[in-house]
Amino acid sequence: MDYDKLAKMSSLVPFPAYLGFEVKRSDRDCVVVEIVLRPEYCTMGGTAHGGFLMALADFTGAIGAMEVLPEGATSTTTVESKTNMIGAAPAGALMRATATPLHIGRRTSVWTTRIETDAGKLISVTTQTQMVI
């Protein structure tokens, strides 16, 4: 995928653009979004806030859902999202969210998103259902 398309995706949705999420790869099989963890995205101990992780995962899975929309569909919305928090990521770390599809259907798609640090430490795992609109 070309750089311009990825840059456009990164700026498309206000909240993810506001936080600075960058789409690094996007196709039907896999979406990768990265961001350096700023101190203001942390919880008290200086590690990634759970809400930040869920926002990052939600955007990554939704980009995936856009990639697999069936013909005639124009958009997608998150129906539900479940996250297990696994490890702590320190401020300054490069965070990488990787979404892969569990299901690509006519009415929904289901995505699992793993967030890891650049060092490969698993931070959280999210599974979400996206409705086709």
Q: Which of 11, 28, 43, 118 binds a copy of itself (CB under 8 A)?
A: 43
Q: Using CB under 8 A, which of the segments 3-11, 27-35, 92-100, 103-111 binds a copy of itself?
A: 103-111
State the pairing for strand pair 31-36/76-85. Answer: unpaired
Q: Considering CB under 8 A, how many residues would be counted as binding a copy of itself? A: 47
> Within the chain, how many helices (H) and strands (E) appear?
3, 6
Separation CA 105–CA 93 (nearest Å)? 35
Separation CA 36–CA 22 (nearest Å)? 10
Amino acid at 43: T
Q: Which of 98, 113, 117, 129 binds a copy of itself (CB under 8 A)?
A: 129
Query: Is there binding between residue 44 and a copy of itself (CB under 8 A)?
Result: yes
Query: Is there binding between residue 10 and a copy of itself (CB under 8 A)?
Result: no
Q: Using CB under 8 A, which of the segments 1-9, 11-19, 26-34, 92-100 binds a copy of itself?
A: 11-19
